[in-house]
Amino acid sequence: MSTELTRIIELFQLPFMQRALLGGILTGLMGGMLGSFTILRQLSFFSDALGHSALLGISIGLLIGINPSVVLLPFAVCFALGVTYLLERTRLWTDALLNIIYSSSLAIAIITLSFVGQYKGGLNNLLFGDILAVRELDLIFSAVLLLVCIVFIGLTLRTQMLLTLHEPLAIARGVSVFLHRTAFIVLLSLVVGISIKAIGVLLVSAFVVIPACAARLLSRTFTNYVVLSAGLGALSAVIGMVVSAAFNLPSGPSIVATQLTIFLTAMALPRLRVLGQG
């Protein structure tokens, strides 16, 4: 047991592991914080669609020979704004429309990738991410983005709350719904875009949705809920990384499995408490 522990500790002394851990924490914090508003505004599926469609951005980047990491962020932002515009313009159901968008962009992405011969082996990494490939520049970018999220959400917390609760009340108080909605969508797409490299297009929305849902089950006030959601995001990243190091498991899926465990615990907690009293 103790040798196992030393092995894990030694593993985390390696720079790439430290970068991975830090990257996981940053992503967990950002995903959790924005996620708390995302699920209440019923944008969960939007973040999912955004993640899947990012593959299209990556494949286009590969095809025209630009580094996918460079293409990804602008693509995610443009894509998100385009989709929001479309959602407002058509009178179709949001989830149906998002489904069309994400499955078709996934299809086009895979077709595009088939033209990029040498990348076939990397598909797995695109789908499930490679948290160990996180570079210093990615970390700096994530840290800056986290700071922007904290400042923006922190300074407009009350506005965000009112907007989430009741739009007409917010407008009556002079809140510009369009500006705030756009700012939030842009932030969310940046967070999703930046996290894709580490966690992959398939799992990225878990970081936005699962910790927030767990926090919702555990909180009694709104402010606690937002903070707890970010905290659970970071916590699950740490535990997930340690578990993945200990049992030599893929890191992204280990973190998501940890998030699930936390969520299930949060669901079971009230019942356990009742059992304890009874």
Partner 1 sequence: MKEVVLAVEQLTVYRETYAAVQDVSFELEAGTDTAIVGPNGAGKSTLVQAILGILPRQAGDVFILGQPLSRRGFLTPAIRQQIAYLPQNFLFDRRIPITVEELVGLGWDKLGFQVPWANRRKRRYAIREALARVDAAHLSHQLISGLSGGETKRVLLAYCLVHPRRLLLLDEAPAGLDVRGESEFYQLLYQLKREQGWAILQISHDLDMVRRNCDRVLCLNRTLLCQGIPEVALSPDNLSAAYGSEFVRYRHQH
- Interacting residues toward partner 1 by CB under 8 A: 40, 154-159, 161-162, 164-166, 168-175, 216, 219-223, 225
The answer for residues whose C-beta is within 8 angstroms of residue 30's C-beta and 6 or more apart is 142, 145, 146, 149, 191, 195, 230, 233
Of the pair 41, 133, the CB lying nearest partner 1 is at: 41
- Rounded distance, CA 175 to CA 171, Å? 5
Measured from the CB of residue 79, what is the shortest distance to partner 1 in angstroms?
26
Measured from the CB of residue 216, what is the shortest distance to partner 1 in angstroms?
6
CB neighbourhood size of 61 (10 A): 19
The answer to whether 11 and 17 are in contact (CB under 8 A) is: yes
Of the pair 220, 271, the CB lying nearest partner 1 is at: 220
The answer for residues whose C-beta is within 8 angstroms of residue 26's C-beta and 6 or more apart is 139, 142, 143, 146
Of the pair 108, 183, the CB lying nearest partner 1 is at: 183
DSSP 8-state class, residue 132: G
Of the pair 82, 154, the CB lying nearest partner 1 is at: 154
Measured from the CB of residue 172, what is the shortest distance to partner 1 in angstroms?
4
Of the pair 49, 175, the CB lying nearest partner 1 is at: 175
Measured from the CB of residue 49, what is the shortest distance to partner 1 in angstroms?
21
- Rounded distance, CA 155 to CA 178, Å? 18
The answer for residues whose C-beta is within 8 angstroms of residue 117's C-beta and 6 or more apart is none
Measured from the CB of residue 47, what is the shortest distance to partner 1 in angstroms?
18
As given in the structure block, the two tokens for residue 277 are 């009293």
